[in-house]
Amino acid sequence: GAGVSQSPRYKVAKRGQDVALRCDPISGHVSLFWYQQALGQGPEFLTYFQNEAQLDKSGLPSDRFFAERPEGSVSTLKIQRTQQEDSAVYLCASSPYGPNTEAFFGQGTRLTVV
Amino acid sequence: AQSVTQLDSQVPVFEEAPVELRCNYSSSVSVYLFWYVQYPNQGLQLLLKYLSGSTLVESINGFEAEFNKSQTSFHLRKPSVHISDTAEYFCAVSETGGYQKVTFGTGTKLQVIP
């Protein structure tokens, strides 16, 4: 596609519910990033994939957060047993990898836990 | 590890006045630098970037930023702002090596006053 696509755009979950957020990166992009943007804050790094390999998950806030990219393209961020503090916009970005490249961001998924 | 500091959380400015949004970064290696803009209820958009070459970079809507390595700064400037520039602006940095994880500042809200 022309850009990074995320779905759903909005998700309301009851506390304790599991959610899955999808990211379709730009075709051919090797690198994929997930970020969390809480209200009034800058995006915070969650995790990084290079193709299907998850090389950095240092930003995942707890073991309730899990991400995968099994075929090196589409990625899913899963949050188990959601809590109110998980409410945020979740951003996905992809890039071609290599020097002089930049990350392209999707519109994000706004998750509200009630 | 890299970090970004945006000292001004909010900057009010009158329409047609000049503005400067400050950004300082910290990194032990060479970096790429970015400014992203986020309009109300919209996703992140890349405003301008420094990857290599000329240290003065410009956007299509009149913003410019200058990479100053000695002062580790990448301040954003515009000589005359418009109402439509009202948005939140994020400075970001990535290291040139590795997978270029992007680290964001906390953002500066630019409010243009008619």
pLDDT at A1: 52
Q: What is the pLDDT along chain B (114 residues), one digit of tens a residue?
A: 889 999 999 999 999 999 999 999 999 888 999 999 999 878 888 999 998 889 999 998 899 999 999 999 999 999 999 999 999 999 999 988 777 788 999 999 999 999
Q: Given the DSSP bridges, would you call strands A109-113 and A10-13 parallel, antiparallel or unpaired?
A: parallel
Q: Which domains does chain B have, with CATH numbers?
A: 3-113 (2.60.40.10)
Beta bridge partners of A36: A44, A90
**Cβ contact A17:A77 at 8 Å:** no
* 10-residue mean pLDDT series, chain A (114 residues): 89 98 96 94 94 95 97 97 97 85 90 98
Give the largest CA-CA distance in chain B: 45
pLDDT at A52: 96
Q: Which domains does chain A have, with CATH numbers?
A: 5-113 (2.60.40.10)
pLDDT over 70, % of chain A:
99
Measured between beta carbons, the chain A residues lying within 8 angstroms of B104 are 35, 42-44
Measured between beta carbons, the chain A residues lying within 8 angstroms of B100 are 31, 95, 97, 101, 103
CA distance B97 to A64: 31
CA distance B4 to B104: 6
Distance from CA of A81 to the nearest CA of B (A): 26
CA distance A111 to A65: 14
pLDDT at B95: 86
CA distance A107 to B75: 25
